[in-house]
Amino acid sequence: MFASFATTPITPFVGADVEGLDLGLRPLNQTQIDDVLRALSMFGVLRFRRQQLDIELLKRLGSQFGQLHIHTGISGMAEHPEVTKIYSDENSRHVNGELWHSDLSCDEVPPLGSILHMMEVPTDGGGDTAFSSSYTAYERLSEPMKRYLEGLTATHDGGVAFSRFDPDRTYPRAVHPVVTHHPISGRKVLYVNRAFTSHINDIPPEEGAALLRFLCDHSERPEWSMRFRWEEDTVAFWDNRCVQHLAIWDYFPQRRLGYRVQIAGDRKPA
């Protein structure tokens, strides 16, 4: 299916393991980059095991797919503002991504994807990330519901996700269609999520709240979700245009450490 590597699906609807690509050895060639982008648009999230990366190599990897997107909700590392440190231990009171979300859907142009390199996993297990297919979520809606959603938009508000961490900061807000198309696959996507979507526009608030609750519950169903199991030196590359994810914090007070970059999108969700 791909010239540069082999893929094995993790579940029928979301995720694939990739073998045969060393992400840190040397810059990827154009065939490899195109294959990764195509695989992402098919599987939503790719898992690469046994990848030796440091922060510079992670940044180099990410920047081969586009400009690095500075996180608009939480601060990056002091020396590497494009890199988000994902860290928790016995002193943590929260972790990143505790609600289902598509990264920074509150931005006018959200990042097209994110790459997370896991350096340290909880020794007694736990710390999976759950991913769900927003393609399948759309496709499994009833036909009358699909017709109802056509043309609706929703507001995505960074304050919903981040203001509990820093209420004094201002966060981006953006309006996106409820149903979008993936620019590579052309498939339709259900594009609302629990962490960022504050309301559906232009319908009565009670109707919008009930609809949003239903669409979020539907997006998160286990039938089109999977648990991504990490090992040290595993890399996840996910496509924010067709999956949502959730960090499962079931390992407190153990430690977990990774570094993440976001790849800037090249267009508004449409």
Return the DSSP state at 121. Answer: -
Q: Smallest distance, Å, CB 69 to ligand SIN? A: 13
The CA radius of gyration of the chain, in Å to the nearest whole number, is 18
> Beta strand pairing status for 243-247 and 129-133?
antiparallel
The residue count for binding ligand SIN (CB under 6 A) is: 7
Residues 228-257 that bind ligand SIN (CB under 6 A): 245, 247
Q: Which of 86, 121, 137, 242 binds ligand SIN (CB under 6 A)?
A: 86
Q: Should residue 261 be labelled a site residue for ligand SIN when binding is judged by CB under 6 A? A: no
C-beta atoms surrounding 144 within 10 Å: 8
Q: Should residue 96 be labelled a site residue for ligand SIN when binding is judged by CB under 6 A? A: yes
Q: Should residue 193 be labelled a site residue for ligand SIN when binding is judged by CB under 6 A? A: no
DSSP 186-200: --EEE---TTTEEEE
Q: Smallest distance, Å, CB 252 to ligand SIN? A: 13
The C-alpha angle 118, 124, 128, rounded to 5 degrees, equals 45
Binding characters for ligand SIN, 109-148, by CB under 6 A (x = yes) = --------------------x-------------------
The C-alpha angle 159, 164, 168, rounded to 5 degrees, equals 70
Residues at the interface with ligand SIN (CB under 6 A): 86, 96-97, 129, 245, 247, 260
